[in-house]
Amino acid sequence: MDTAYDFLQPEFLSILFFQQKSLVIYPYVDLKHLKALEVFTEGYSIINIDATALHNVSTIISHEAYHSYSLRPTFYFIINADMGVVKDLLELPTIHCIINSPENVESLVKGEEFIFYNKKNKTFLNYNSEECDLSYETELLQESQNEQSILLKLRDIHNTASKIHDKVNDNFDGKSLVPILESYDPFIWSKILLLTSRYYDIKLPELPKITHVEPKKKRRKQLADFSHEYQRILKHNRKIGQEFIQALHNYREKRVNPANLEIEQLFYPEKLYTYLRNNHWKQGIPQDFTDEWVSMKNTAHKLTDSDLLDLENLFEELGFSLNINVKPCKDKPTIRPKNKHEERNPNKGITIENTIPPIEMFPKFKKWILLKVEELEKRISKQ
């Protein structure tokens, strides 16, 4: 099953953004997932084309290219392109696009301007990622919380490329580019220059050699440990804890880019919870997750008054705010035999335990207190 996150990967960032190449992806991909790649097309105006509704796609694109008055070049998302359409599009000299074909088009591979990707087995036909240094692309994606933060970083890099382009009309040499690039680590300067030359179709001078400069080592942020919170949630109420684990994995699948997670965080809910508390839930468990959690959709358990009281106590202990809009089910009455530790109130016929329930069993403890108060009130009123 495809997801948008399948395409938010270092290889696609390098191919589309830094190398400014086009992609041919097959077989069929739903456009809503394919459009995740739009974040890597900073600097372009986007046009979507469904080839099933047109018979002359390449002619239309050629006409648009020669008659466009936009200051930004066009990037095309072309879907449902059959073998013939793909073949025609590969002949266009200056097109920048992502083509999705439902057919097996690997026989059309030619050169390296169009990178072919088989999404079924997740392999590139004419691109070897092992020969490329993708450490910066990987780090950029891992440090980004969402697509918007990725876009902001790429926009900043693209603005730097624009400043380099503005120098072209001056009599400049490689040294004059250094002040523009100095806000970035020197080991990625070549990537920014490649982006500039490919996007603007210009030739740039070589930079002066820089000695004694090493790339920044990739540092994974040290995460604060929230395992004590996780264990408290699981042990407080077994049914609520079971639902919490399922809701946690559902949240990861819908809201977290798997590229940002280590293997343990993908499969161990305690590690995942620590990651979320460090990155997504810095202020505590958010309301949207709580709503999903207390709906109990996964375990189908019906929350009782006791369960809701447990939740309130739990959130109070953790220091989080809680707003529950769930109508509880009635607690099932418990029937137990009387024993020698019980006495009968002659006024109300209420049975009260002389042994105080532990405070950890708060619903029972609360009931015991209220019954004792009621008994005292009756005795005082008789005096």
Tens-digit pLDDT profile for residues 132-143: 889 899 889 888
Burial class (CB in 10 A: 0-12, 13-18, 19+), 79: buried
Do residues 40 and 12 lie in contact, with contact meaning Cβ atoms separated by under 8 Å? yes
Exposure on the CB side of residue 306, measured as CA atoms within 13 A: 18
Q: CA-to-CA distance for 13 and 19, rounded, in angstroms?
A: 9
Which tens digit of pLDDT belongs to each residue from 179-226?
A: 888 888 888 999 999 999 999 998 887 766 654 444 444 445 677 888
Q: CA-to-CA distance for 93 and 75, rounded, in angstroms?
A: 14
Helix (H) or strand (E) holding 46: strand 45-50
User: Which residues are 352's β-sheet partners?
Assistant: 343
pLDDT at 377 over 90: no
Q: CA-to-CA distance for 9 and 258, rounded, in angstroms?
A: 10
Share of the chain above pLDDT 70, in %: 81
Nearest in space to 126 (alpha carbons), one of 139, 150, 108: 108
pLDDT at 291 over 90: no
Which tens digit of pLDDT belongs to each residue from 122-163?
A: 899 999 888 888 989 988 988 877 788 899 999 999 999 999
Nearest in space to 108 (alpha carbons), one of 127, 90, 81: 90
| Residue 55, token pair as written in the block | 């018979």
User: What's the chain's length in residues?
Assistant: 383
Domain boundaries, the chain: 4-132, 144-200, 227-318, 342-382
The correct answer on CATH 3.30.2390 for the domain covering 4-132 is no
Question: Average pLDDT, whole number, for the chain?
Answer: 82
Residues in Cβ contact with 236 at an 8 Å cutoff, skipping those fewer than 6 apart: 310, 313, 314
Which tens digit of pLDDT belongs to each residue from 334-365?
A: 444 444 444 444 444 444 445 676 665 666 77
SS3 98: strand
pLDDT at 96 over 50: yes
What band does 103 get if pLDDT is binned at 50, 70 and 90?
Answer: very high
**pTM (two decimals):** 0.58
Unique residue bearing structure tokens 């509880």: 328
